[in-house]
Amino acid sequence: MYSAKMQIQYKEPENNTHLSPLIDRFGRQVDYIRLSITDRCDFRCVYCMAEDMTFLPRHEVLSLEECARLVRVFVALGVSKVRITGGEPLVRKNALWLFQEIGQLTGLKELVMTTNGSQLEQYAQALRDAGVKRINISLDSLNAERFRKITRVGELDKVLRGIAAAKAVGFDNIKLNTVLMRGTNDDEALPLLNFAIEQDIDISYIEEMPLGAVDHTRDSTYISNAATLKSLQSHYPLVSSAESSAENRTGPAEYWRVTGTQTRVGFISPHSHNFCESCNRVRITCKGELFLCLGQDDKVDLMPLLREFPDDDTPLINAIIASMQIKPQGHDFDLKRAEPAVIRFMSHTGG
């Protein structure tokens, strides 16, 4: 039921209605979960998955009801922010039901989503009505031909229409996520920032993470965010934002504000600036695997508990509380390795 590393005895909580927050052995409070609801996607981005993917059979994927149950339990344990991811979450049949179900939970302050934007034109209004507060949209190029090359199958115009739809229905917390790769799209850092400024939205640049076996070496395509920041500062006055301070940070990004605009620029730098000391999150895959760190293999399998105890949350609660004792201090990304330290694709863990 559990990974080899998960050899922890359960303790019965005295009162399930008054649960303590999740505190790991390093004193960090986990109040943010990222839940993948599908490993499937309508894109095949080169840094995220293989071109010819084998996806999970349905019985190995959490039902939407199981996803909702997990979120309820985590919120009872003090989690106040939930991000729904995939794969592409909006290709999951009836995914909107899940957003509607958890968007009304007492204690949940932020329901957010990461998407490739391909389905937003259709679902933007319904997502806002369901209680989604913020949307992160992956966008790695503004050139249609290059966009298709990076995504292998994606249509840029469809994503741009999705961004327009999200703005039109009133989402005012939209952020682009961009992975820059040397020799592929590294010349688009500035055009993408210009686009974000024109749209009055935010943008984050993410250093490519060594997850899964892909058809290029990460060391050859790696670009540090320090280099990207320096390049952007030659065009725009960027002021370090209060969101980057240790006491205010709620995620891995360091933020800068573009003077005279509404746009924030974030940098997520797992290689050049390790952000693990303030980690407040865990990830749950669509298989119900609770990963305590994106860059490590420590995990707890929650699906068996969901299915063996459909009417009793106590074993599930105990497993989650116990998992805090195996949450590692940090990841172990190393671009020089011949093979990635973590073999699973980003689409498996959740984007």
- pLDDT digits 0-9 by tens, 69-109: 999 999 999 999 999 999 999 999 999 999 999 999 999 99
The string of pLDDT tens digits covering residues 185-234 is 999 999 999 999 999 999 999 998 664 444 545 467 889 999 999 999 99
Distance CA 189, CA 195 (A): 10
Residue spans of alpha helices (H) in 42-106: 64-76, 95-102
Q: DSSP secondary structure string, 134-177?
A: EEEEE---SSHHHHHHHHSS--HHHHHHHHHHHHHTT---EEEE
Distance CA 246, CA 241 (A): 11
For residue 182, is pLDDT > 60? yes
Query: In the chain, what percentage of residues exceed pLDDT 90?
Result: 70
The string of pLDDT tens digits covering residues 56-73 is 999 999 999 999 999 999
Q: Tell me whether strands 289-291 and 299-301 are parallel, antiparallel or unpaired.
A: antiparallel
Distance CA 134, CA 177 (A): 13
pLDDT at residue 339, rounded to an integer? 53
Q: How many helices (H) and strands (E) does the chain have?
A: 11, 14
Homologous superfamily (CATH) of 31-349 is Aldolase class I (3.20.20.70)
Residue 285 confidence class, pLDDT cut points 50, 70, 90? very high
Across the range 111-122, mean pLDDT stands at 97
Q: The tokens 């952020």 sit on which residue?
A: 175
For residue 328, is pLDDT > 80? yes
pLDDT at residue 254, rounded to an integer? 92
Lowest average pLDDT, out of 7-11, 37-41, 137-141, 335-339, goes to: 7-11
pLDDT at residue 222, rounded to an integer? 87
Distance CA 46, CA 266 (A): 22
**What's the chain's average pLDDT?**
86
Q: pTM of the entire structure?
A: 0.86
Nearest to 180 by CA among 209, 200, 212, 153: 209
pLDDT at residue 163, rounded to an integer? 98
What's the residue count for the chain?
351
Name which residue leads in pLDDT, 250 or 204: 204
pLDDT at residue 49, rounded to an integer? 80
Contact 86, 40 (CB under 8 A): yes
For residue 177, is pLDDT > 80? yes
User: What's the gap between Cα 213 and its chain centre?
Assistant: 19
Distance CA 54, CA 346 (A): 14
The domain ranges of the chain are 31-349
Distance CA 13, CA 296 (A): 28
Distance CA 87, CA 283 (A): 13
Q: What do you get for the CA distance between the two ends of the chain, in Å?
A: 25
Contact 180, 205 (CB under 8 A): yes
Q: The tokens 């095949």 sit on which residue?
A: 44
Residue 248 confidence class, pLDDT cut points 50, 70, 90? very low
For residue 114, is pLDDT > 70? yes
